[in-house]
Amino acid sequence: MHSPRSSSHALLAPGSAASSVPAYAPGRATRLPAVDERLVAPESRAEIVDGVVYETMGANPPHARQHSTLAHVLAGCLAPGYEAAVDMLTRADRKTDVAPDVSVFPTGDDPATGGRRLEEIAFEVVDSETVAHATKKVRKLAKRGVRRLFYIRVDDRTVFEWEPASDAWSPLGVDGVITDRCFKVPIPVRALADRLLADDTVARALLASGNRVIGAAVEGGEARGELRGELRGELRGELRGELRGRREALRVLLSARGVTLSVDDQTLIEACDDAARLDAWIARAATAPDAASVLAG
C-alpha cells in the first residue's frame, strides 16, 4: 500500500547532507546517482517518486502471502552470480528512490561506484497500490536500465511484464514460463502465485545445481528402488519355486494312484500359475478316479 505524504521534503538517510545542499556538483546535474545513493532513509517504510514521498504500509494476508511465495521461488532459482532482495531501495533518478517488492541483481560491486549493481529483474505485487502508481515506478526503473519488470495482481494472480517498446504491460499466459539468465531453471508463471508449484520449481533448481541434500535423496531413492526391485525378484523366484513344488506334488500323487496324464493334461498343469487352483487339484487327486475329474473346472 502506498500513500502520498509530501512533495516538499525528502527523507534523508542518516548522515546525509541537509536537503538544501544540492545532490550534484555544479555542471554535473545530468549525472545519474548511484543506485544505492539514498533519498529515502533506509528502514523508513517510504519511497519517493518525482520528489513525492509515499509511505509504504503493512500488507493484509493475500498480499503478504504473495510476497512470500514470490520471494521463495525467485531466491530458490537464482543462477550463480545473482542475488535476490525484498523491498530494496533503488535510486532510479535524481528525484526517485523506490523499493520494488522483489529484485534480482548481480553479485559483487559496481566498478564505477563501488556500491551494489543495478537489478536486472524487478517484481511489483499490486493490491491496494494502483497500477498507475506501479507503472510510474516501473517506467523510471526501465529508464534507469532495469532489464525486465513484472507485476502480479493479487486479486486474480495474473502476471504482467513491462514492454518498454510499447510503453505498456503485456499479460503472461498462465501456462507460460519465465526464462532468464538470472535463473537456473525456467519459472512457470503459475509458480509465482502457487506455493506448491513454487516448491516444485525450487526443487528442480536445487537438483539442477547439484544440491547435496537433494542429490542424496535422489541417490537414496534410486538405491531404495534397486532394493525394491531385488526384493520383488526374490519374491517372484520364491513364488515360482512354490508353484513348481505344487505341480510336482500333483503329478507324483496321481502317478502313485495310477492315474495317467495325457499330454494336454500335462500342459494344463504346467501352465497353471494359480497356487489356490493347484491346491484344489491336489486335494481332488487324493480320491478322483481319473485326470478329468481332477482337472475339471
Q: Are 118 and 146 in contact (CB under 8 A)?
A: yes
Dihedral Cα 248, 251, 256, 257, nearest 10 deg: 150
Of the candidates 16, 67, 20, 64, the one whose C-alpha atom is nearest the C-alpha of residue 42 is 16
What's the pLDDT at 155?
85
User: What's this model's pTM, rounded to 2 decimal places?
Assistant: 0.63
Average pLDDT over residues 161-177: 92
pLDDT digit string (tens) for 170-205?
A: 999 888 899 999 999 999 999 998 888 889 899 888
What's the pLDDT at 11?
41
234: confidence class by pLDDT, cuts 50, 70, 90:
low
What's the pLDDT at 142?
96
Give the lowest-confidence range in 74-78, 141-145, 268-272: 268-272
Residue 43 pLDDT > 60, yes or no? yes
